[in-house]
Amino acid sequence: MKNSDSIYTLDGIDKTILSYLMKDARTPILEISRKVGISGAAIHQRLRKLEQAGVLEGSKLVINTKKLGYSTMAYIGVYLDKAMNNPAAVRALQEIPEVLECHYTTGNWSILIKVLCKNNEHLMQILNNHIQRIEGISRTETFISLNQQIDRQISL
């Protein structure tokens, strides 16, 4: 297994296999095998090797959150009183289920978070009653996403 800092080089077959799985992770290995022209066992071996190298970090199910009533996506720039408050603020943000992502950033904000809420009222409640009450957060700046126009992974 390679260390996490090393760069792994994909060959053409790896790229093809991963491209099929990135489009639909449930694509049967035998279907990929037929399209790539190598055995199913060889596909499994390559996937295992990619997992061991840290290139693959599992798979996930994608839920259509709008079907569950979550229609407001927002990005919130978080200003901290002091940079040393970052670890505690991140721990507190982890306790809020609506916070999907948290990034330590350069620029004006200390942290940029992505939140998913049922509506604008729910977003306001999360901001007022949870995020802005976290010790060390001095203020926030919120941007509501009107429509996600691109959603993809990196091209191989």
The per-residue pLDDT for range 103-139, each reduced to its tens digit, is 999 999 999 999 999 999 999 999 999 999 999 999 9
Res 102 pLDDT > 60? yes
What is the rounded average pLDDT of the residues 23-32?
93
Q: Are 117 and 74 in contact (CB under 8 A)?
A: yes
Q: Which residue matches tokens 């099929």?
A: 20
Instruction: Encode pLDDT of 29-49 as tens digits.
Output: 999 999 999 999 999 999 999
What is the pLDDT confidence band of residue 153, given thresholds at 50, 70 and 90? Answer: confident
Q: Are 140 and 134 in contact (CB under 8 A)?
A: no
Task: Report the chain's terminal Cα–Cα distance, integer Å.
Answer: 22
pLDDT confidence of residue 145: 97
Q: What's the pTM value of the predicted model, to 2 decimals?
A: 0.83
- Map out the domains of the chain with their CATH numbers: 12-52 (1.10.10.10), 65-145 (3.30.70.920)
